[in-house]
Structure 1
């Protein structure tokens, strides 16, 4: 049985750990609220961007942008969105497993894979497996900057336009609620029919149905400056950037939520360990006191 001094040392060590996890939990909770607000503000923007692009394409059915053309797939690009730091539960593990399984599926079909990474954890994974890494960006901070995201995305877009890859996918974590975040592997290019949201295409599709309904009811007739093709090209470029930004924003909200939950679980576990150690400490202390009293009584009786 461990001695009193050793138990006391363990209790102090666990208490110090609990202070750290509690502080990290509160920091993550504060950042989580800001990240969720940022995500909720951006979702209507992405939805309206999608709606506008659908309207423009419906008004110009004779023009087909390269982003909309299906190709025979011989090579694909994958953009992995992860976190720079750990201590966020199984979030990075789940998205890493999903990406590895998809890469194995593509490899079985003799499809070459080119990758890009956002976040240090994803970069470490892609480097470790020896993937064809085209671009990367780490240390994204708490607020995503499109200026740091675009160069990484542009490398993949150029590969797509040059015919080096035939499809482009993005792997990220979708925010469902504070307690649930799910990994998502979605196709960015070619864009889906009517520009359905790749992050919510498996949901109830109410927002997709609304968009389709609008295109059927109204005859969209715009006046373009300088011309319709230039406007559609620029809008679809912005729309693809919008999808990337949405993935990063949702991933950051998921990260802070997962970290808050993980640190709360760690704090609760530390409290249980402290309680158990305190009980053992009290028992040992009581045993030692009882032993000392017995020795004193025995000594007095002998005298």
Structure 2
């Protein structure tokens, strides 16, 4: 049985930890609202642009003059998985779920005979080095980012586009956590390079299709929109991750605070029982000594 001094020290240690987790929960809650508003505000534009680009990709006739981000490399062998995670831990299963989803996609692609590479954006994604030490194409440093801005996403997007045009991969998938609520963050994977074709509708629309005219021409417009779409999708992932991280951290710290409280109660009961047992033992020894005299 632990001594009274050891129990008292442990109770004090757990109380200190509880104060830290409670403070971290309050900080995460304060940051969550702003991050959530930014993620929700940016979501409609990113989703609509993705739908528009997919629709255009299905309608435009791909030729030698078509942008490479639209036409692709003509191959489907080398797949790049972009894993967007956070720089800090203590956020529950937030980073673990993203990495797990990316690994599941890698296993699926490898089972189909594809070559898989990884592009890490965030320190916590480096756990993939344990499983794929020779397949990490690049580790993008994002620790300097305090408030997510579109310029930060453009840096990653321009690097990805340059590597794509250099022939380092054929298809790129982006994995991040879509914010649902403070309790739910959904790991999500989307294809960002080349533009995926929109799925064909189950029922053909009634009536004539709308005619689409391009001014000045479709190649010029797509050449401008396609790189922008990659940047927007990465920006969207960063905003979703920022909100998801704070929501997950707030929930994790709340659970940690509650668990610390439960542990303090249990240790306090054990401390009181041990103290009472020590007092009872001393009284018995005194009574036994008095009777012996």
1:98: how far off?
Answer: 2.5
Q: 2:256 matched to 1:266?
A: yes
TM-score by length of 1: 0.81
Partner of 1:200 in structure 2? none
Does the Cα contact within 8 Å between 1:115 and 1:126 map onto a contact in 2?
no
Q: Which of the residues 178, 186, 189 maps onto 2:193?
A: 189
Q: How does 1:109-188 map to 2 (within 5 A)?
A: 109-126=112-129, 129-130=132-133, 131-188=135-192
Partner of 1:241 in structure 2? 231
Does the Cα contact within 8 Å between 1:80 and 1:122 map onto a contact in 2?
yes
CA RMSD across the alignment: 3.0
C-alpha separation in 1, matches of 2:139 and 2:273: 60
Query: What secondary structure, in the 3-state scheme, does the structure 2 residue paired with 1:17 have?
Result: helix
Query: What secondary structure, in the 3-state scheme, does the structure 2 residue paired with 1:10 have?
Result: helix
Mark the CA change 1:126 to 1:291 in structure 2 (over 3 Å): closer, same or farther.
closer
List runs of 5+ in structure 2 lacking aligned partners. Answer: none
Query: What secondary structure, in the 3-state scheme, does the structure 2 residue paired with 1:117 have?
Result: strand
1:185: how far off?
Answer: 2.4
1:188: how far off?
Answer: 1.4
Q: How does 1:11-50 map to 2 (within 5 A)?
A: 11-50=11-50
Count of matched residue pairs: 285
1:117: how far off?
Answer: 1.3
Mark the CA change 1:162 to 1:288 in structure 2 (over 3 Å): closer, same or farther.
closer
Query: What secondary structure, in the 3-state scheme, does the structure 2 residue paired with 1:73 have?
Result: coil
Partner of 2:68 in structure 1? 66
Partner of 1:77 in structure 2? 80
Mark the CA change 1:154 to 1:144 in structure 2 (over 3 Å): closer, same or farther.
same
Superposed CA deviations along residues 12-64 of structure 1, whole A, max 9, x for unmatched, are: 01111111111111111111222111101111222443466578779x84565
Does the Cα contact within 8 Å between 1:57 and 1:232 map onto a contact in 2?
no
Query: What secondary structure, in the 3-state scheme, does the structure 1 residue paired with 2:180 have?
Result: strand
Partner of 1:199 in structure 2? none
Does the Cα contact within 8 Å between 1:137 and 1:149 map onto a contact in 2?
no
Partner of 1:257 in structure 2? 247
TM-score by length of 2: 0.84
List runs of 5+ in structure 1 lacking aligned partners. Answer: 197-207
1:257: how far off?
Answer: 1.1
